[in-house]
Structure 1
Amino acid sequence: MLATVLVLIAAVLHATWNTLIKFSGERLLVIASMDVVAFTFAVVMLGFVSPPPAAVWPWMIGSAVFELIYRVLLIRAYRVGDLGLVYPLMRGLSPLVVLGLTLVFAGEHLTTQQILGILLIPCGMVCLLWQGGGGARLPWSMLPVVGLIGLCIGCYTWIDGHVLQLGAQPLDYLVWLSLISAWPFPLMALCSKRQAFTLFWREQWRLGISVGLCVLLSYALVLWAMQLGSVAEAAALREISVVLVVLFGMRYLKEPFGRPRLMACGLVLLGMLLMKLKL
């Protein structure tokens, strides 16, 4: 029960920071700012955590690489697609990736009902390909980009769960992972947009700190939840954020809420019920 609550809170935070990034016109600067917060947190916490075991480091570096690729592609995808279309498509693939990796490599036991619930989530995302999800169509050239984002999310999520199974503690892992992955975007912003980055922190520092705290807390809660229960189930339950993002996009970004988006949200919720209810 605790793992489910943690994942649902993380989903709200994840939906919030993605909405803020989509809403901003300077997405590189927002992501760089949130990484400044993460890196600062990691440096402050360094004296309170232990280095992960040696066996964890290759996996942790792999997770960091997938996260960096994901963020680069995320900026590109949000330039051309609705939040309520891009986010569900990219997030909908990740539970399928985590499920496959978990069943093949981790040997985690899942019931048939849990597997069916997980599979309903990517099925819901397919609905969004129909008539642009009720709004503007996503260019076909962007579908491989969105698919690659989903693949990256699924890979680093599975790696994170695997690392916890190797004995790493969630807080230790979060701190060291942030030290590895949270410096490239701030460095990129300083090199390519130094004046704009300085101005952003002067005028929109609240946005940068808010997004950074949402990302850190969301990640920490998911790591904790994966340590308590099933990695595949935690990854799938987190996709309640899809429903929230569609609603946020409609409310704050004036995006349409057509029948395909309604069907997608319904299948996500049905999949979650299948995973958690004992039938």
Structure 2
Amino acid sequence: MTPAAIGLILVSALLHAGWNLIGKRTAQTVRFYAWAMGLGMLMFSPLLFLVWSEVVELPAEFWWLLLGSGLCQTLYLTGLAKAYRHGNLNLVYPLARALPVLIVPAVVLITYGQSQLRVQDLFGMGLIMFGSLALPLGCWRDWHWRNYCTPAIGWVLLAAGATAGYSVLDSAAIGLMKAQGMSAFGAGSSFVVLQAAACLLWMLPLVRWGFGESLRALPDLGWTVLAGVFIIGTYLLILVSMSMVAEVSYVVALRQVSIPLGVLIGVFWLQESISLPRLQGLCLMVLGLVLVSLQA
């Protein structure tokens, strides 16, 4: 992985932790994320118009990938919103970020029949997974499988699975755009706007008829706009970095560097408590991230 790709992912991680803090502190509703996606899309829409002549020439396969990605984004944001209603930031955020590290390589292997991951990569990802299992625990002697059967964990699993889905779909879509001659930035900048539009196609009916939330009531405008800019900007950086690596699994793994940042924000800003198993699990996850980053 090139230094440029690593730098983009690290900046993206900071922005990602930022908009999750806004989502947890300001509102835990799907409506909030719908407004954030819509406003973020409008803010970044000029980037789409700059390459519009190239976008309209993309094959039909691209538009199917885009539609699938929009559905996965909708499920991801829905899972995240509902999970934040039932769990703390320093529980929900690490789990939602860590689980896709194992899911994505499995999806890549099933889809393409091969993987460029090595034993060291798998070991690092395993540490991330084991660390995540410690996060729901208050103390080790209270361990029980029921600790993982909570509404928060259920919604986190939905968010994690959806993350794996859109990561693989988006990597394929960006590959198609580059194959058509688009630059890494042109492909990434236009795709985030198109993806936001596709997400809204799925999300707006879900908000209105699925959850019965009124779209007329705009959440706090300032925080919603900031969250929207962070959401779109974060993923723009990730999509550009995807074009610089051999396999999307590396990007998904390295971007989890935002996990310790999210936990620290929960503890020091939101005044959330952190147990010893949760702290130990976090250390395991950070060690796994370091191993994956060194191999990438």
Question: TM-score per shorter chain, which class?
Answer: 0.7 to 0.9
1:266 aligns with 2:283: yes
User: Cα RMSD (Å) of the superposition?
Assistant: 2.5
Aligned pairs for 1:38-187 within 5 A:
38-41=40-43, 43-49=45-51, 50-51=54-55, 52-106=58-112, 107-131=114-138, 140-168=150-178, 169-182=187-200, 185=203
Q: Deviation digits for residues 249-279 of structure 1, max 9, x if unmatched?
A: 011111012212212221122112212336x
TM-score (norm 1): 0.87
- Of the structure 1 ranges 35-44 and 11-20, higher mean CA displacement relative to structure 2 is found in 35-44
- Of the structure 1 ranges 259-268 and 41-50, higher mean CA displacement relative to structure 2 is found in 41-50
Indicate the SS of the match to 2:24.
helix
Identify the match of residue 214 of structure 2 among 193, 197, 200: 193
Q: Which runs of 5+ in 2 are unaligned?
A: 179-186
Give the residue type in structure 2 aligned to 1:176: L
Distance apart, 1:9 and its partner CA: 1.0
Q: Quick check: 1:80–1:138 contact (8 Å CA) kept in 2?
A: no
- Of the structure 1 ranges 149-158 and 179-188, higher mean CA displacement relative to structure 2 is found in 179-188
d(CA) in 1 for partners of 2:215, 2:158 = 30
- Change in Cα spacing, 1:123 to 1:64, as seen in structure 2 (3 Å) is same
Give the residue type in structure 2 aligned to 1:225: S
Q: Which residue of the partner structure matches residue 37 of structure 1?
A: 39
d(CA) in 1 for partners of 2:37, 2:177 = 26
Distance apart, 1:99 and its partner CA: 1.1
TM-score (norm 2): 0.82
d(CA) in 2 for partners of 1:156, 1:256 = 32
Q: Deviation digits for residues 13-37 of structure 1, max 9, x if unmatched?
A: 1111001110014634431331122
d(CA) in 1 for partners of 2:216, 2:188 = 36
Indicate the SS of the match to 2:217.
helix
Q: Which residue of the partner structure matches residue 183 of structure 2?
A: none
Percent identical: 27
